[in-house]
Amino acid sequence: MYVGTPSSSSSSSRSHELSIPDQIRALERLAQIDAELKELQERLSQERSTLDGLKSGIAKLDEKLAADRATATSMDKTRGELIQDVRNMNQQLDHSREKLSRARTEREANAAQRELEELRKLLRDREEEIGKLTAGVDGVHQQIESTEGEHRKLVDDLAAREGDINSKLGDVQKKVHDKSAERDAATKTLPPVLYRRYDMIRSKRGTAIAQTIDGTCNACHMALPPQLFHRLRREPILEQCPSCHRIIYFVAPQATVASAPSERG
């Protein structure tokens, strides 16, 4: 299929202003601009990813610190309540001892003794819980100190690098803006039908043009039908590769320095 000629007279007269060799050169220039824009966008993404990664790391540590501090506060509160229980139980123990000392009968003495034993068991349980909570609180506080250290490092790293990263982002964004304006100008030199075809293929394939030197598409590396290759060699025309559907044209071996894309796909 010949893709270089508009399908209706309503298309811009630019198609008549550009010869096929000129259209090929315009496509190559547009492909080069798109490759440069892609590289710039990747640089933007990389710099933003670095900055976002630092900020995200700090935010995650902030969340962890908030959760650990809340846990420590809750554990401290529970430990405080248990300590108060122990104080109350000690008072009850003193009261039970007094009851035992005042017992007048064996029944009263046995009852006071059972009460003492139950209180002592409860007291041991509370003290054991307090011990576990104390160890747990200490562990949480150690974790908080460690996390605070990581947090400080990330904050310092962000402070040291944010200005430089933002400066790089500004520079790359300006280049993207300038290159986009250059692209807009380049697209206007192409016949509208050809540009639409180019842009549609590029959106699907990443690159839209391909060359052939020896009958093989240099983008997908598939052999072209012999008749198609002979037609491409015979006169300057634009066709589509039957395999990858990129816009394809013939380039003589001595002219292979042209910058057409060559990745597989």
CATH number at residue 162: 1.10.287.1490
Give the residue ranges of DSSP H helices in the chain.
Answer: 14-17, 20-102, 106-187, 192-205, 226-234
Q: Around 20, how many Cα atoms within 13 Å sit in the side-chain half-sphere?
A: 15
DSSP secondary structure, 175-214, as one string: HHHHHHHHHHHHHTTS-HHHHHHHHHHHHHHS--EEEESS
Q: What's 130-166 look like in SS3?
A: HHHHHHHHHHHHHHHHHHHHHHHHHHHHHHHHHHHHH
Model pLDDT, residue 103: 85
Are 158 and 198 part of one and the same domain?
no
First-to-last C-alpha distance (Å) of the chain: 20
> How many angstroms from the chain centroid is the CA of residue 55?
12
Are 172 and 236 part of one and the same domain?
no
Are 173 and 249 part of one and the same domain?
no
Q: Which of 15-24, 138-147, 166-175 has the lowest mean pLDDT?
A: 15-24
Model pLDDT, residue 154: 95
Model pLDDT, residue 112: 87
Domain-embedded: residue 25 = no
Model pLDDT, residue 1: 52
| Residue where one domain finishes, among candidates 158, 185, 212 | 185
- Nearest 5 degrees, angle CA 11-CA 15-CA 18? 165
pLDDT in tens, 2-53: 555 443 333 344 444 789 999 999 999 999 999 999 999 999 999 999 999 9
Q: Which residue has the tokens 């690159």?
A: 207
Are 203 and 92 part of one and the same domain?
no
Model pLDDT, residue 3: 53
Model pLDDT, residue 14: 46
% of the chain surpassing 90 pLDDT: 80
Domain-embedded: residue 224 = yes
| Residue where one domain finishes, among candidates 150, 185, 220 | 185
pLDDT in tens, 212-222: 999 999 999 99
For residue 102, what are the contacts with CB-CB under 8 A and spacing of at least 6? none
Model pLDDT, residue 19: 93
| Count: domains in the chain | 2
Quick one: CA dihedral 130, 135, 139, 142, positive or negative? positive
Owning domain of residue 225: 1-18+190-265
Q: Which residue did the predictor score with more confidence, 6 or 188? A: 188
Nearest residue to 249 via CA among 262, 265, 238: 238
Q: What are 218's two structure tokens? A: 């240099």
pLDDT in tens, 72-127: 999 999 999 999 999 999 999 999 898 888 888 989 889 889 999 999 999 999 99
On the question of pLDDT at 182 being above 80, the answer is: yes
Distances (CA, A) of 34 to 37, 131, 186: 5, 67, 11
On the question of pLDDT at 264 being above 70, the answer is: no
Are 153 and 218 part of one and the same domain?
no
| Residue where one domain finishes, among candidates 185, 206, 238 | 185
Are 160 and 205 part of one and the same domain?
no
Domain-embedded: residue 32 = no
Q: Which amino acid is at 194?
A: L
